[in-house]
Structure 1
Amino acid sequence: MGTKGGISLASFCVFNPTYGPREGEEHKKIVFFYPKETDIDTQIKHIGLCEAIVRFTETFSNKPCQSLHTTKRRQLFLEAEKDFWMIMTVTIPFTEKTKDGQSVLEYHEEEVQDRVYEAILQQAYRMFQLFNGTFASILERTGNNVKVLQQRLEHFYVRFLQTLRLPQGDILDIFSGIHFMPLDKNTYLHVQCFINLLEASFSSIKYTAFLYNDQLVWSGLDQEDMRIIYKYLITSLFPSYQEQELQSTNSVSPSRNSAAPGDVHYGKFITGPPDIRNEKNLGKVPRVYINTECCNEECFLLVYRAHNASVCMFLPAACKINFELCHKLDSFLGPRLSQLASDIGEQFSKKAASGADTAYRFIYFNHMNLAQKTTVHSDMRKTGSNNIPPETLKLLTDISSDMSKSPEDGEIIVKTSTDNWVVGKKSDHREFFVVINQKNANLIEINEEVKRLCASNFTSIFFLD
């Protein structure tokens, strides 16, 4: 067995077949193409083949084409908006073997699971929509100027595609859920009162979300908006901020409120002024497009953090973000959020100290409220460090796919070649997967273990037997 090639991005494109209807105008169909250095003839051929596949499959099914399998490539198709197609092509992993004295490449297409990479493609579109609005809205705002849309796509995707971790794709990309933080009633009430007071004190804040340690505590956004915002926060904004803090010599310096010289706190803007004492630098305040009350509502996103607690504030684009507002927010948020973060931290440390049963690894997802919980992954950012073998993790996706084909609730139990028992349960729009390493156990014993696990970790959730 020789070297092995992994999953990587071969190409990514956006095209609209209505833009180049005549012969010789095929290049007009291309709205975006990556890699950028690909010559125009190759781009035209690639888009032409993709369009032909889409049209051909339409004759056999009412559902649009989703994927195309070849020996060396896997193509994922998404009609993101009417007439706008996004195509992502990934390479198939291979191993190099020697057979009869010659080098032979053996491709492993089972390692690329369609549902996972279809979900990643969908997320790529939703992330663009978050920061730019829909393709249609961009065209509407610019008088149907396709050049502007092309520029927006290039500006966004040239950087975004570099951040994709395709080899780490797994079942969590399909769920794209939210890790909620359970709190006792009194502490949750304190958070709710804090949010109410914040919104009452600053009328320009339209929506708010509160997170602690990458876990969502409270949100005033629509579920789908919060889902993509959450993805952005924990995979991009928070990691880059923490990296900057580690490199900064002032990362642990408290902030002193000029309005009250004795008031010291550890609050700081993540988006907005990097230093509240330097009024010459307002920093970066991203614009986002959300659909909570109306489609493509443009808002500023201000994020403020103290210790491990973060407050995300959404202000309508008509509002003016200036230092006066940021100073007032810092004075209000800093002391209160620092104290609230300390209170939540006490609860968090107690739960962390109690620990989880290391004999079990599980993933839970609720399709109704997008709640997600995992002990399979070492952290919520999916950096590739997992607590079970990759083959077992892929098996969870296969089991989920099988269960999704039936409207009925049910259970699937599998024993792997590595002596792991894998149990998948589907009950009342919830999916639950357990990996148990008990070599000599039988089905009855495994079933009892799963019941005990549910009783200890999901006491408030009813699973049908």
Structure 2
Amino acid sequence: MICDTKLIMSKKSDISLVNFFVFNPEFGPKEGEEHKKILFFHPPATDIDTKIKNVGLCEAITKFTGTFTDRPCQSLHTQKLRQLFYEPEPNYWVVLTVTVPYSTKTKDGQTYLEYHDEDVQDSVYEAVLHQCYKMFKSLEHFFSKYLITLKLGQSDMLDVFNGIHFLPLDKNMYLRIQCFINLLEATFPHILYTAFLYQDQLVWSGLEQEDMRVLYTYLTTNLFPAYMEQEFQGLKATSSSSSLTSLHSHYGKYILGPTNLADESSAGRIPRLYINKDQAVLECHLLVYKAHSASVCLVIDGNYGLMFDLFKRLDKFLGPQLSALASDIGDYYARKPQSSSESQFKYVYFNLMNLAQKTSIHTDSRKLAVTGVSPDVIKLISDLNEDLTSCHIQDGEMIIKTWNDCWVVCKKADQREVYIILNQKNANLIEINEEVKKLCASQFTNIFFMD
């Protein structure tokens, strides 16, 4: 007897946001006042009964699990959903709920759903949740706008590291940029801190690491992509780029600041940035100015009144010099021979000491995956990192060969981590080890400066 069983499977669904909310169980302790516990809830159109039920369930879970351990509950796994909990401050809970991907299968005429629980990695989405809190705490940016920018399906190791991509420059070019910033801050003493970026990579920053990390995430995942989208759609046809060209021979313009220096009303509302300084929080103004591919972030004393004349003086100073620097950096990289070794490998590198992050798995800081690396391998890297963290391993090396003969090498030493992917089916451990040594020697010896 011959049995012909056919199995048809649909494409796997994406990970998506179900809800996100902030609550404090100390608010509204009496019956009928449960709604007072809810500080924020997304989506906002959710009816109040559903909001109360979601918050009540999370409150019950955190209280119940708290009776067994001193460590707060961090996640809840169900067949269809994954819920992450974070208590950044006493009694203030931030909760993120995402869907578990599924695929529709048909076997012998019967259709059913198969859920892929392993695709939702707790360490990755805990990192996303922590970033949400830091963005809200440090930047005047509302969750209602921020949440729609999250690409949860693309979240991976970069969210766990939450590092910074540095631009490697030769010493002469780096010195020119540093002199430019010193002159800028001397000319405008109300500028407390400055950060210089080229494309999505950081060149210089006067901010502390944690503050720069939050600002960098905001710039590269929110502000810059939104601005580029507006530029692409032609929504900035009346921006400062057109009005300034006739006044000054440069290509500078504000990304955060007035869109037209001939119109004082175009300044709008300048966002606030909150800086940690001497165990206190310093409130500052944030301006971002761009010329070609170079951007300068200006953190200005929050007690200083931003008169419109300041925007004009800054533009007159920044426009010509930043335009020239951006052009010279572009020419420098156009002349510099590109290394061919990097294309032979895929890797992710992170240095906890300076937050330096480097990757060839992604095309940019917005985590667009490069072809040639499967999602399963990227998830494997996240699992390796979680193992290193949970076991408190300071120095070590792991080598894994996957079922499809792909090699994944993890090395950790001196707070540096590197994850290397090699597709060499017939290689042995000795050959893989030699290839890894070559890559480390060619790619990770000079993070900030090129020879």
The question of a shared fold, defined as TM-score above 0.5 by the shorter chain, is answered with yes
- Separation (CA, whole Å) in 1 of partners of 2:132 and 2:287: 23
Q: Provide the residue aligned with 2:318 in structure 1.
A: 333
Instruction: Give the C-alpha shift of residue 191 in structure 1.
Output: 1.0
Higher mean C-alpha displacement, 421-430 vs 289-298:
289-298
Partner deviation per Cα, 1:134-163 (whole Å, 9 max, x = no partner)? xxxxxxxxxxxxxxxxxxxxx822222111
- Separation (CA, whole Å) in 2 of partners of 1:249 and 1:25: 50
| Contact 1:301/1:315 (8 A) holds in 2 | yes
Instruction: Give the C-alpha shift of residue 293 in structure 1.
Output: 4.5
- Separation (CA, whole Å) in 1 of partners of 2:363 and 2:411: 22
- SS of the aligned residue for 1:337 comes to helix
Q: Provide the residue aligned with 1:62 in structure 2.
A: 70
Are residues 1:176 and 2:184 paired? no
Higher mean C-alpha displacement, 206-215 vs 333-342:
333-342
- Separation (CA, whole Å) in 1 of partners of 2:100 and 2:254: 42
Instruction: Give the C-alpha shift of residue 457 in structure 1.
Output: 1.0
Q: Which runs of 4+ in 1 moved over 6 A?
A: none
Count matched residues. Answer: 435
- Separation (CA, whole Å) in 1 of partners of 2:176 and 2:194: 15
Higher mean C-alpha displacement, 30-39 vs 439-448:
30-39
| Contact 2:361/2:370 (8 A) holds in 1 | no
Unaligned runs of 5+ in 1: 133-154
Instruction: Give the C-alpha shift of residue 12 in structure 1.
Output: 1.1
Unaligned runs of 5+ in 2: 1-8
- Separation (CA, whole Å) in 1 of partners of 2:164 and 2:328: 22
| Contact 1:126/1:228 (8 A) holds in 2 | yes
| Contact 1:14/1:87 (8 A) holds in 2 | yes
- Separation (CA, whole Å) in 1 of partners of 2:299 and 2:433: 46
Q: Provide the residue aligned with 1:191 in structure 2.
A: 177
Are residues 1:268 and 2:253 paired? yes
Partner deviation per Cα, 1:109-139 (whole Å, 9 max, x = no partner)? 000000000000111111111224xxxxxxx
Partner deviation per Cα, 1:52-102 (whole Å, 9 max, x = no partner)? 111111122211111111111111000021111011111111111124532
- Separation (CA, whole Å) in 1 of partners of 2:372 and 2:134: 29
- Separation (CA, whole Å) in 1 of partners of 2:192 and 2:372: 40
Partner deviation per Cα, 1:297-336 (whole Å, 9 max, x = no partner)? 2111111111111110011222122221111111111111
1:398-417 equivalence runs, <5 A: 398-404=383-389, 405-417=391-403
Q: Provide the residue aligned with 1:72 in structure 2.
A: 80
1:275-286 equivalence runs, <5 A: 275-286=260-271
Q: Provide the residue aligned with 1:138 in structure 2.
A: none
Match of residue 360, structure 2, among 344, 363, 375: 375
- Separation (CA, whole Å) in 1 of partners of 2:323 and 2:243: 11
Are residues 1:433 and 2:419 paired? yes
Higher mean C-alpha displacement, 349-358 vs 215-224:
349-358
Higher mean C-alpha displacement, 26-35 vs 431-440:
26-35
- Separation (CA, whole Å) in 2 of partners of 1:75 and 1:188: 45
| Contact 2:19/2:97 (8 A) holds in 1 | yes
- Separation (CA, whole Å) in 1 of partners of 2:336 and 2:126: 36
Q: Provide the residue aligned with 2:43 in structure 1.
A: 35
- Separation (CA, whole Å) in 1 of partners of 2:47 and 2:320: 57
TM score, norm. by length of structure 2: 0.91
Instruction: Give the C-alpha shift of residue 386 in structure 1.
Output: 4.9
| Contact 2:394/2:414 (8 A) holds in 1 | no
- SS of the aligned residue for 2:184 comes to helix
Are residues 1:296 and 2:281 paired? yes
Letter in 2 for 1:120: V
- SS of the aligned residue for 1:68 comes to strand
Partner deviation per Cα, 1:186-213 (whole Å, 9 max, x = no partner)? 1111111111110110011111111111
Instruction: Give the C-alpha shift of residue 377 in structure 1.
Output: 0.5
| Contact 1:254/1:264 (8 A) holds in 2 | no
1:314-353 equivalence runs, <5 A: 314-351=299-336, 353=338
Which structure's relative contact order is higher, taking Cα pairs within 8 Å and 6+ residues apart?
Answer: 2
- SS of the aligned residue for 1:291 comes to strand
- Separation (CA, whole Å) in 2 of partners of 1:401 and 1:383: 22
Closer, same or farther: CA 213–292 of 1 in aligned 2, 3 Å: farther
The alignment yields a C-alpha RMSD, in angstroms, of 2.0
Q: Provide the residue aligned with 1:255 in structure 2.
A: 244
Q: Percent identity?
A: 57
| Contact 1:273/1:284 (8 A) holds in 2 | no
Higher mean C-alpha displacement, 342-351 vs 166-175:
342-351
Letter in 2 for 1:80: P
- SS of the aligned residue for 2:280 comes to coil
